[in-house]
Structure 1
Amino acid sequence: MTLQKKLQINIVMSNYNQRSSSYSSSYDYIFLDNLASSSYSNYFRSDLKNLKIKTTNGTECQLLYLPAYGSQGAAILARVPVGQISQTTKLLLDVYDTGTTFNSTLSTGNEVLMFDANSDTYSQFFMNYLGLSSNNDSTDGGHFLRARFVPNLEGTSPTDLFTTFASGQPLANNRVVVARFKYINGNVFVNDNATYHGSTIGGIMMQIDGTLSPDEPNVKATVNYWGGEKDYCMFTGAKTLVLASSFDAYNQGSDEEGNWKQYHFHDRVGTGTSNTSDYLEGFSRNNPTKIYQSNYAEIEVSPTLYATTDFEDFNYVDLKWMMVFPSPLFAANGIPQVTVTTRDKMGIRLYKGSHEYTKAYKGSTLMWNADDSDMDDTGLHIPDKIINHNWDWVF
């Protein structure tokens, strides 16, 4: 196992809102699905399992390695201490030789929930109805879950894919839903706070093209529940859909009906989290509705309202896995812009007049050492509190 490259992940958030005291978790989660498209990808294994991620103070982040599938590349879910996150978050990326294989150190359960069709029984995670079936997958020798739209005019059974494992996630933590599909074609309806035959609503995104309507045969729009119409965007083939939502409490009180809170709603959905993704955004502020519910309900993915009347081809989705995790970064702070670069030089610069010194000693102990030719860091540092500052020291 040889460390072959030291890189840096730069995460910039356009309108960063610092985590408030209402967030209880000590960690945030960052979904990285575009590392393999960086200019350094030739150093990476195809499954990214030769990569380790650390914070700038050297703390190793727990990682969940997610395999590539079809046209969708491998991805990483990283758990990052809240104190290491800012508007311009930097993470250190250690790249080992491609013969090295790391296993995931971040396990699912608790805050990170996941259904994997290759290994999990769908009845443990989804409301059972006529249109669900587990099928063999020729792509990877595993399985996929098919959710087929089955018309039910009486409304006595589900017609959409409803989870049963996501309830109880606190609203204050916000959350991100990542669903990877073997097949998703046409339009999709997504609700991140669904209760079948209930009244709860959450982040709803729906795509329509209007071809099923005789009155508007040429309408092509994407509708976000809170944000109105957006540019047209359709899903085709193997896709990864990412839905980010947050419910930020901004007001609370009590009346004769009990305690209540008011929330900001932020919803985003797109086909990934890279800076080239086609993201949709909508949010509602100053919501006058009193929301007594303090827990999220379930997630709904609806294989309905597709682009053709040929329902045999377009009225189902094939799900490989679905993951749910809390992350105010994605929900409330815009689209994180993620890039991979060489690592910033760490350490101090020592000057006497115009001359820059390459070494610093404390007594006889060498505390800072730089290459004399280019001042590149060689790994010895004085205390962290003065790293990354230019100091004019005179001896």
Structure 2
Amino acid sequence: MIRFLKYITAVIAIAITVGCSVAESKTTTVSTIIDFGDPNAKQFATRLKSLADNKKTNQVVNITQFGDSHSAADFFTGEFRTLMQQKYGNAGIGWITPVAIKGQSHAVVTWKSKNWDVLSSRTLSNLDFPMGGFIAKPSKDSATIQIVPRGSNNKDWQIKLTFKTLKNNSRSLALYDKNDKKINLSYTPTPNVWQTASVVAKMPLVIKGQKDVELGGIWLTRNQQSGVIVSSIATNGAKQTIWQKWGKDWFKELAISQSDLVILEYGTNESFDETLDANQYRKNLVSNIRLIRKNLPNAAILIMTPPDTMANEKNMPKSFAKIMNIQKQVAKSEKTLFWDWQVAMGGKFSIKQWRQRGLARPDLVHQTLKGYKESARIFYADLNEFIRKNS
């Protein structure tokens, strides 16, 4: 009976959220974000409350979400970014891949590239991948990338590029602004070492690279602008073990991110693994959380479960319940925040109702654009209720 009442409560919460505006839903939906004792949760909530009260503080709150295909299209994170920036201020775009990745997208950025190959840690091993697991490598000299933010903006941007020169050549990489004016990119060529350099310029940005350079992730923030940044660092088909395929120093980029909240959105692909080693999965999740804490000692951490998922019309994926249980146990033992996406949707098998309403795709795994936006609105409402209670 208790379980049934909890399920009915969740369904009512979803109905309320769907039937009203975001502003209304955040005051009527009971928060499903649980704090299992995260040492930085209150500080995170207080910083956001401060931004809401005074957007001219020149304060930036960085939220970074690592994940799989639920994050890689930027449908969920894109809507979440929009809502957060409407309330707390728009401090920029955040982390993006060096070039467009097939099957992935970004809500506020487009790329035009010529003569670049893409290497992915999803399909390749034993390479020195930077954070995010993508490398753009010129196939010819004078390869070009143009990065264009959606919408007009004549303000200055701070642009941080992660790159590696393969030779001692200071001309491997060149940047040009919207007026085709060369931007002074100051760096010391250090062969075969990933480094990050920063410039201030107006967008669109043009990057020109020679064959002896590799390009990793790029951070785009509005120069001297307070507000929120939401970054999506994700790969289609990823499991949380993808971090182990990135180079030994990738976590230095994590530290540079200055993230205030790190969200771990993995688990869907693991849930379909019928031979999942539960102990190894738990061990790796704990290791990832401790890696974040070591490099971002002031960041709050949130474990986001997979959304409700079905393997077919009748059954959940074989390891789904196992993944959910381990994630909640680790959230408790490692003292993180926890958001149950399945409960937020309405509970077990709710994906079928979402499909009927045009919010989920026929595969009963992924959501439609409308569905991901709805999920983001629920998470946004839950997060703001958590902030209200903790600031």
Choose between structure 1 and 2 for higher RCO, CA contacts under 8 A separated by at least 6 residues. 2
The alignment's TM-score, normalised by the length of structure 1, stands at 0.22
Larger Rg: 1
Q: 1 or 2, which has the higher helix percentage?
A: 2
Q: 1 or 2, which has the higher strand percentage?
A: 1
The alignment's TM-score, normalised by the length of structure 2, stands at 0.23
